[in-house]
Chains A and B, each alone.
Chain A
Amino acid sequence: MSPDNLDIQNSLDKDLIASVTDLKVYFESKQGMVHSVDGVSFDIVDGEMMGLVGETGCGKSVTARTFMQLVQSPPGVLAGGNIKFRSKNIKNGSQVIDLLDLSENQIRELRGERIAMIFQDPGKALNPGLTIRTQVAEVFQEHRENDVLEKAGLKNKLSGVTEYFVKKYIKQEAGFLVTTLFKIPPLSTYKKKIDSGINRLVAEALEETQIPNPTKVMERYPHELSGGMKQRVMIAQAIACNPDLLIADEPTTALDVTVQARVLDLIKELQKRHKTSVLYISHDLSLVRRICDRIAVMYAGQIVETGDAETIFNQPKHPYTQGLINALPSMSHERGKLEAIEGIVPELIEPEPGCRFVSRCMRRKANCEEIDPKLKPISEVNKSHKVACLLYEA
């Protein structure tokens, strides 16, 4: 690692858990490079809930997936930037790393362990062919083999070769032969103990998300559970290792409205109890306002405005944010009429310089089509409120 890199790594502010700087993720297509995420920067304060808001296709999910290196490549291309992350590993103390520099094996150690993710549609994010138990168990098997051994009553009771193979078996690293051997005596006694150990861990994890009857639920297949239940299972799986950062990618979008509220409350409650930082991604501004401490508004691959939730809501500065808030239906609106932002999202293939919002902007100025606006604080009082718009540039 170059000294230059080290310098970047040490510069993460004390109160931050993660910081994204000038992130650029492009996708190759036949028409050209699609600039899905184009110079995104934002911070996540330790222990806070950060909302990332934007309409479909604005790059918010891609941004989230980049945290875990889950963007498929090809066609995905990481064109620049970095994501600094404070990993609060108990053994080594806290440590700042660049998530995009990690090798496949290094990022795998963090996935599900320090950074976890909840997906939009729990019906699709759970494997239809495996029981809930099998799927939740994998998190423990991958990252908590010592906990499994302890619950199985096997801790410090094994030695040498047996310990080696039992651990391999738990971590699903054993080959076909060893796995088969564990199904027949004498090794099957270990398998039984391991299974019951895993069962207890899984039941505890499910209980954490208020799933009734966890021992019964875990024997079920995903299609036998309701959408809300499935999302609870996903959440249980995500927080099983008590991660530092939880990425929630529209976790309530696929759910019924009544279930939405309960799942939201659950996430909020778990976040408070475990002091987890959350990156909450949504297209629903009013929902994000309800639960998030700070908000970043994204448009066409860029952050246009960021600040604390109340400021964004009460004093939106960017024309796009203003438009979004105007578009929210409220009690004072005339019946049957909804405000909308005119026009459509621009193509992101090899975009022209200038503000991305210019074609839809009601307040555009002459040079908006030429100059890229930079995300900057606009008032001396509230430095955390930043806007990318030429209207506020001196």
Chain B
Amino acid sequence: MQIRDYIIRRLMILPILIIGTSIIVFALTRIGGSPIGIYLSHEMSPAEVQEMKERFHLDKPVPVQYFYWIKGVSQGDLGWSGVASAPVVDVFPKKFAATMELAIAAGIVAVSLGIAMGTFAGARRNKISDHIIRVVSVSGASMPLFWFAILLLIIFWVWLGWFPIGRSDPNLFEAIPHPTGFYTIDALLAGNFSAFRDAIWHLILPAVALGYGATAIIARMMRSSLIEELQEDYVDAAKAKGLAERVVLKKHARRNALVPTVTVIGLTFGFLLQGTVVAEIIFRWPGLGRWMASAVLRGDQATIMTYVMFTSILFLFVNLVVDIIYAYLDRRVVLGD
């Protein structure tokens, strides 16, 4: 079987997974009770309350409500956000872009640093540099995000004043068109270098805070799987061909060590999305996470469902990409039925 067929087959499973996710998301949210509360005020009469219920189809049985929700979603109506006092669909894209920018930046930090640190440590097993990386990564995996984020905030914003918090200066970005909603990419597309620098500058602190835990996990995984690969016969066989240590490590061992690491990377992405809630609150990042936190506190179910649905679909897509990379790295995967 070709890799192309493999991708097509994986894509065909995707809709089924998405439908399943939507049922679970809807059911779990409704367990929290009827969402009517957010739409009511103290001044409303019982008749008005009944009218609101009918307007949002909340007088119908829950399974029927599900279909009304799906119908709305398919027509681009994600419901009314009580927290934002606006339709979810109007607020969502901007906040989604902000969160994605943060999560992707953190992902880039985690993947590049994690693989580099893991390879470095694995190739120098039990040397000083391996021990130092172990300390760094164990603390990364065990420190709670909120604590580490506040620590960074205190040191680099309060004390040293090296990095700003929040997202970039709105004045700087008002003049720039926003085709993607990613400030960094928008600034580059507009050719505005100072805006780009500003966007990156604002991104560093939350991205590092958010990415540290994932970096640690990826580094640990990479180190152990590289050590395992370096014991394999093919490493000796490669050396027996006269290849330099560098080629043996980078071309032979690292490539195979990446196979289990890539799986972990896919899972860490979920970890990152979850972390954005904390990171956004601490660094005042105007993304989905902060919106979501207040939505949960106030029972804004339309927002919650949209958020959970989108992040689930995103997670599915990331893992699809991971599986494709996996098949590319290890061709034996494609063979299986």
Contact = CB atoms under 8 A, between A and B. Distances in A.
A127 B234 contact: yes
28 contacts: A68-B239, A104-B245, A108-B242, A108-B243, A109-B242, A110-B242, A111-B240, A111-B241, A111-B242, A112-B243, A113-B242, A116-B240, A117-B237, A119-B236, A119-B237, A121-B233, A127-B238, A128-B330, A128-B331, A129-B255, A129-B256, A130-B252, A130-B255, A138-B238, A138-B241, A142-B242, A173-B244, A223-B335
Contacts of A68: 239-240
A279 B76 CA distance: 74
B241 A127 contact: no
Given A111-B240, A125-B233, A139-B242, 14 more contacts: A65-B236, A111-B241, A111-B242, A112-B241, A112-B242, A119-B237, A124-B232, A125-B236, A128-B331, A129-B256, A129-B329, A138-B238, A223-B332, A223-B335
Interface in A89-117: 104, 108-113, 116-117
Interface centre among A104, A129, A138 (most CB of B within 10 A): A129
B233 A223 contact: no
A116 B329 CA distance: 28
A78 B332 CA distance: 39
A237 interface: yes
A142 B237 contact: no
B71 to A, nearest CB: 47
B125 to A, nearest CB: 10
Interface residues of A, number: 32
Contacts of B331: 128-129, 221, 223
Nearest to A69: B239
A205 interface: no
A126 interface: yes
Contact of B239 (A70, A113, A237): A70
A128 B333 CA distance: 11
Interface in B213-268: 232-234, 236-245, 247, 251-252, 255-256, 259
B234 A124 contact: yes
Contacts of B252: 127, 130
Interface bin, chain B = 20 to 34
A234 B329 contact: no
Interface of A: 65, 68, 70, 104, 108-113, 116-117, 119-121, 124-130, 138-139, 142-143, 172-173, 221, 223, 234, 237
Nearest to A74: B126
A389 B178 CA distance: 88
Interface centre among B245, B247, B259, B331 (most CB of A within 10 A): B331
Contacts of B251: 130, 172
Nearest to B237: A125
Nearest to B259: A129
A70 B243 contact: no
Given A127-B234, A129-B330, A173-B244, A111 B256 contact: no
B256 A70 contact: no
A248 to B, nearest CB: 12
Contacts of A113: 242
B236 A70 contact: yes
Interface centre among A110, A172, A237 (most CB of B within 10 A): A172
Contacts of A112: 240-243
Contacts of B236: 65, 70, 119, 125
Interface in B45-64: none
